């Protein structure tokens, strides 16, 4: 699969959510808020599966990183990357920002 940007605390995800309410479906913007306690990338903790992602859905508000590398680990946990999926109670998103200069194997 090649090399992919490594995700960190503060990186952004976007997706669509629905709870079946009149305001749904709607766009959701998320931000990774937990990561490694001792491994940084660009001075930010490395995101792993399943670190927490806070998001803009007014009905639920948090989710987790869902997919990750199969060959690269941090604290014995697979690392989350650019274009990996994020799971929210109301839907699925994708991480759209990551390190511009630190890449990991698929």
Cα(19)–Cα(41) distance, integer angstroms:
35
Cα(22)–Cα(97) distance, integer angstroms:
30
Compute how many other C-beta atoms are within 10 angstroms of the C-beta atom of residue 46: 27
Give the pLDDT confidence score for residue 58 in this predicted structure.
87
Give the pLDDT confidence score for residue 2 in this predicted structure.
67
Q: How wide is the angle at C-alpha 30 spanned by C-alphas 80 and 5, nearest 5°?
A: 30
Look at residue 6 and give its three-state secondary structure. strand
Look at residue 57 and give its three-state secondary structure. coil
Cα(60)–Cα(90) distance, integer angstroms:
7
pTM to 2 decimal places: 0.93
pLDDT category at 18 given cuts 50, 70, 90 is very high
């Amino acid at each position: 699969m090649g090399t992919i940007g490594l995700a960190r605390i503060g990186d952004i995800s976007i997706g669509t959510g629905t709870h079946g309410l009149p305001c749904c479906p709607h766009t959701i913007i998320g931000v990774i808020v937990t990561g490694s306690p001792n491994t940084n990338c660009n001075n930010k903790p490395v995101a792993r599966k399943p670190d927490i992602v806070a998001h803009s859905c007014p009905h639920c508000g948090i989710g987790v990183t869902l997919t990750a590398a199969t060959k690269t680990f941090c604290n014995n946990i697979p690392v989350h990357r650019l274009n990996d999926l994020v799971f929210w109670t109301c839907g699925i998103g994708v991480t759209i920002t990551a390190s511009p200069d630190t890449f990991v194997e698929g």
